[in-house]
Amino acid sequence: MQQHAATTSAHKRALIAGSIGNFIEWYEFAVYGFLATVIAQNFFRLEGEGELTSLILTYASFAVAFFFRPLGAVVFGRIGDRIGRKPTLIVVLVCMTLATAAIGLVPVYASIGVAAPLIVTGLRILQGLFAGGEYGGAVSLMTEFAPRGKRGLYGAWQSFTVALGLLAGAGIVALLSVLLSPEALYDWGWRIPFFIALPMGGVALWLRVSMEETPGFVRQQQQTGHAAAPVKASTGATIKNILVAIGRVMVWSAAGYTYLVIMPTYLQSALHTGFNQALLIAVISNIGFALTIIPAGMLSDRIGRRTVMVVASCLLLILALPLLKVLQAESATLAIKALVVLIAGGLVGILAGPGPAMLSEMFPTRVRYTGLGLAYSLSNALFSGCAGLIITGLIKQTGNVDIPAWYVMATAIVSIVALMTLNKNDHLKDLE
């Protein structure tokens, strides 16, 4: 049975403390994505290579970090399942904040040569490790504190702060592009968003130090006499659940990064949209994402995770190509393009609302931090971190600018099948 004795104030502190780390993580990822063309110019513009090649190298560095997220999920997940959610999340937050700020200190390629992209990639790897340890702990924290019948809502706050982080990243980059000349932005202005992570991290650290351990973990510790480690007998079931979970969130990962992070660069490189207009469109898509997350999480508490997520996946399958065609149309006005990305972002938000609670309900407390963190990070490594690399590379090879839509559609088909295996009443059960 799930523990419901936690006080209302503890619930609120858990929500805020869990959310703030995700906000910082996704703020940084948004900044890197929205500044991809600037980073490519400063760090990955190798002699004798064109702009598209430097952009592909930038996304390769982006993808490498995601492939270290599963390792971080395992390392920090096992720690979090053994000694507790609170201490693990504090360590992850401090390390992630320092790695983010350090990117802003790296000299550019013109100053130190090939060491520059290597250092940036190394810092991205560290961020991947720490980010991998963030998600499982944050979702475990929120859902284990959630009152009965509100896990979808509590888990949705994790995704909502992801949206806020993406919006903050897009907004700050857009603001800098307006306030600074292109030369200043490329020269030193791009460093500012990374330095902003330091004060954010300070606030988040204060919140996490003051929060309580989750009721579910405390109860388990009391029942066993110590914090339980994953049981060997359940390893097979855990691995199976991880694989099923990857299938269920595949389209969430792919569509999320396609529409919310790499779209500005796609608009600039493939459709020759201006930098400021592309950023504005990205902000609007993230607004659509943010608007639907909380309502979708609440709705999933009423009618179930399966119904909400299957409907969203089907809509992405049906609408991905038509929406992209509208963006490509030369006759499409900025207002029409804004509406298109608002809809696309909203569909991703409908997946992101119930998603965290759905993952949490798939794993028992003794392996929840590790299990859901590993499933989510593997999905992100394969289908988010590689999204920019896959889409840009395929466009370069084929010349087909419809690749982003086909990518989303392919992942939607897999996720629909996987989501149909959900028990429609899982949202009514207590966490194990």
Query: Tens of pLDDT along the chain (432 residues)?
Result: 444 445 677 777 888 888 887 888 778 777 877 787 788 778 877 665 566 677 677 767 767 777 888 999 999 999 999 999 999 999 999 998 899 899 999 998 888 888 888 898 899 899 889 988 988 999 999 998 888 889 999 999 989 998 888 788 878 888 888 898 888 988 899 899 999 989 988 988 998 888 888 888 888 877 765 544 444 546 777 889 999 999 999 999 999 888 877 676 667 666 667 777 777 777 888 899 999 999 999 999 999 999 999 999 999 999 999 988 888 887 878 788 888 889 999 999 999 999 999 999 999 988 999 999 999 999 988 887 777 778 878 888 888 888 889 999 999 999 999 999 998 888 878 787
Q: Which positions ≥6 away from 89 have C-beta within 8 Å? A: 17, 18, 21, 80, 134, 137, 138, 141, 208
Q: Which domain covers residue 231, as residue numbers?
A: 8-427
- How many of the other CB atoms lie within 10 Å of CB of 46? 14
Pick left, alpha or beta for residue 319 (phi over 0 → left; psi -120 to 50 → alpha; otherwise beta). Answer: alpha
What is the structure's pLDDT at 234? 65
In-domain check, residue 432 = no
What is the structure's pLDDT at 1? 42
What is the structure's pLDDT at 225? 55
In-domain check, residue 393 = yes
Which CATH number is 30's domain given? Answer: 1.20.1250.20
What is the structure's pLDDT at 398? 86
Q: Return the SS3 of 333.
A: coil
Backbone phi and psi for residue 116, each to the nearest 5 degrees, phi listed first? -60, -55
In-domain check, residue 165 = yes
Helix axes 85-103, 115-145, angle to 10 degrees: 150
Cβ contact 141:14 at 8 Å = yes
In-domain check, residue 288 = yes
What is the structure's pLDDT at 3? 43
Q: Return the SS3 of 409.
A: helix
Which amino acid makes up residue 60? A
What is the structure's pLDDT at 271? 66
What is the structure's pLDDT at 299? 97
In-domain check, residue 251 = yes
Cβ contact 384:254 at 8 Å = yes
In-domain check, residue 3 = no
CA-wise closest residue to 141 among 18, 293, 5: 18
In-domain check, residue 112 = yes
In-domain check, residue 238 = yes
Longest dimension (CA), the chain: 67
Cβ contact 257:388 at 8 Å = yes
Give the predicted TM-score (pTM) of the model.
0.84
What is the structure's pLDDT at 75? 94
- The structural domain count of the chain equals 1
Element spanning 110, H or E = helix 109-112
Q: Which positions ≥6 away from 118 have C-beta within 8 Å? A: none
Q: Which positions ≥6 away from 298 have C-beta within 8 Å? A: 152, 153, 156, 353
